[in-house]
């Protein structure tokens, strides 16, 4: 039986110096029946030449004629062009372990899930952030859009969901990130969303790196790329490091412990009322479209 085709979509904008690292992590996948659709948000740097240099028929580049300003429309364009039975997203500054696609697909098929959420590590650089793991879902409650945010780099879903759920909404019309809004709509439409419980993603969020776009920051990308290709124990080392940090922070730091205790109780109330805590928090803090405007400002881009 032939392997099903997976369409990998990477939205990008003028980060040709970091894009090769994410592309390499796709090329290094143990699962080889994929197509990579790199969709530029009207890139004006040498992104097209960088992609073309791979000379791999599985990799194609399309540049939007007008800049949309965030990844929802590039990802929608990728989904319109996707030929695969399954869709995966990889942010242009994120990485996959070599077994990401293979494990996620096997899990999706064997579990009967509509969407698989891989576990991942988040490196915020020098920025202080409470969350450093992704795709971790409560065994008791399962996935709920009010409990957890999971980056699109962690997803694998059936292409047929595009017809059921629709395309990504534009950030200007939303209170949350377009990716979170889409997963929320998938959840509300009855999609079965399950965690793989296997760590296969590494994220280096540009929003945690001031002026990442303006200064074309590469940061730790070379390090992670090298480790993924040469260090067979890298995942074990990352798990050990983050497990220790998790216990140290969440169980022994009193401020964090009590903060989590009370926020969990508040979330329970919100969920019972049919409200989304992540969306509510963003709405109160930024207003409609404000979250992405804030992200653009942090990244060194025009907020508008």
Q: What is the pLDDT of residues 47-100, one digit of tens each?
A: 999 999 999 999 999 999 999 999 999 999 999 999 999 999 999 999 999 999
Q: Which CATH number is 6-299 given?
A: 3.90.550.10
Q: What confidence score (pLDDT) does residue 258 get?
A: 62
Which backbone phi and psi does 89 adopt, to 5 degrees? Answer: -115, 145
| pLDDT(46) > 90 | yes
Q: What is the pLDDT of residues 28-39, one digit of tens each?
A: 999 999 999 999
| pLDDT(13) > 70 | yes
| pLDDT(161) > 70 | yes
| pLDDT(129) > 80 | no
Name the residue ranges covered by the structural domains of the chain.
6-299
The number of angstroms, rounded, from the C-alpha of 24 to the middle of its chain's C-alpha atoms is: 17
Alpha carbon distance 277, 30 (integer Å): 38
- How far is the first Cα of the chain from the last one, in angstroms, to the nearest whole number? 49
Q: What confidence score (pLDDT) does residue 89 get?
A: 98
Name the 3-class secondary structure at 299. Answer: helix
Q: Is the pTM of this model over 0.95?
A: no
Q: Are 68 and 76 in contact (CB under 8 A)?
A: no
**Pair of tokens at residue 185:** 């709509």
Alpha carbon distance 137, 134 (integer Å): 9
Going from the C-alpha of 199 to that of each of 47, 101, 136, 221, 236, the distances in angstroms are 29, 12, 9, 18, 10
């Amino acid at each position: 039986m032939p392997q099903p085709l997976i369409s990998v979509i990477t939205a990008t904008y003028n980060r040709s110096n970091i894009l090769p690292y994410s592309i390499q992590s796709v090329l290094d996948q143990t699962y080889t029946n994929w197509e990579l659709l790199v969709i530029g948000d009207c890139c004006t740097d040498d992104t097209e030449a960088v992609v073309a240099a791979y000379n791999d028929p599985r990799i194609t580049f399309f540049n939007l004629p007008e800049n949309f300003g965030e990844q929802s429309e590039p990802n929608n364009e990728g989904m319109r062009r996707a030929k695969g039975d399954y869709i995966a997203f990889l942010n242009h500054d994120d990485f996959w372990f070599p077994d990401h696609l293979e494990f996620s697909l096997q899990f999706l098929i064997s579990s009967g899930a509509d969407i698989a959420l891989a576990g991942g590590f988040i490196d915020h650089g020098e920025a202080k952030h409470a969350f450093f793991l992704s795709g971790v879902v409560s065994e008791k409650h399962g996935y709920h859009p009010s409990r957890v945010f999971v980056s699109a780099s962690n997803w694998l879903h059936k292409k047929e969901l595009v017809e059921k759920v629709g395309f990504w909404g534009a950030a200007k019309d939303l209170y949350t990130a377009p990716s979170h809004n889409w997963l929320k709509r998938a959840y509300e439409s009855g999609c079965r969303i399950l965690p793989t419980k296997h760590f296969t993603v590494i994220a280096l969020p540009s929003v945690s790196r001031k002026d990442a776009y303006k200064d074309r920051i590469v940061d730790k990308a070379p390090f992670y790329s090298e480790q993924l290709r040469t260090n067979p124990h890298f995942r074990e080392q990352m798990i050990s490091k983050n497990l220790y940090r998790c216990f140290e922070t969440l169980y022994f730091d009193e401020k964090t412990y009590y903060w989590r205790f009370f926020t969990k109780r508040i979330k329970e109330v919100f969920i019972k009322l049919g409200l989304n805590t992540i969306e509510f928090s963003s709405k109160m803090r930024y207003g409609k479209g404000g979250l992405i405007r804030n992200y653009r400002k942090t990244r060194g881009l025009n907020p508008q």
